[in-house]
């Protein structure tokens, strides 16, 4: 039985391709390469977020009793990053509100604004209005 195993190892040794030697790098060089990769990935993600948040869009807006502190002008948007500030314009009134929630979940609506923001825009009577979001 031992001879059979030895013969098998010998055959496999002849069939198996030889390993090519690779250039070895130190841990310091590997760390630098990894840090560089992380840096470029972070820059790419930041640029994509900035490009996405810089788009202006118009559509229907509604108001809700949303999250946040009382009196804060906040809003809900489907895709823009949390904490980003958008300018919402309606009928000559413009406000800056911070995104702190996801929504609206009604088809055709672009943004939901808080009660405070709705009062500042003058949309309380209408309920749903056409706005410009920048």
Instruction: Report pLDDT for 21.
Output: 59
Q: Say what percent of the chain tops pLDDT 70.
A: 74
In a domain, 93, yes or no: yes
Number of domains in the chain: 1
Q: Is the pTM of this model over 0.85?
A: no
Q: Which helix (H) or strand (E) holds 109?
A: strand 109-114
Give Cα 124 distance to the centre of its chain: 31
CATH of the domain at 65: 2.40.40.10
pLDDT reported for residue 47: 66
**Residue 33 domain flag:** no
In this predicted model, what pLDDT tens digit does every residue of 28-70 receive, in sequence order?
A: 777 787 777 777 777 777 666 666 556 889 999 999 886 667 7
In whole angstroms, give the CA distance from residue 29 to residue 27.
5
């Amino acid at each position: 039985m031992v001879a059979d195993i030895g013969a098998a190892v010998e055959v496999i040794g002849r069939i198996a391709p030889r390993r090519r030697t690779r250039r070895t790098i130190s841990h310091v060089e590997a760390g630098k390469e990894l840090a560089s990769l992380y840096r470029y990935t972070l820059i790419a993600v930041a640029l994509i977020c900035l490009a996405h948040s810089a788009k202006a869009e118009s559509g229907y807006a509604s108001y809700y009793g949303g999250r946040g502190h009382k009196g804060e002008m906040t809003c809900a948007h489907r895709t823009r990053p949390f904490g980003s500030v958008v300018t919402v314009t309606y009928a000559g009134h413009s406000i800056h509100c911070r995104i702190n929630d996801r929504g609206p979940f009604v088809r055709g609506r672009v943004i939901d604004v808080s009660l405070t923001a709705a009062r500042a825009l003058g949309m309380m009577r209408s309920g749903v209005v056409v706005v410009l979001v920048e």
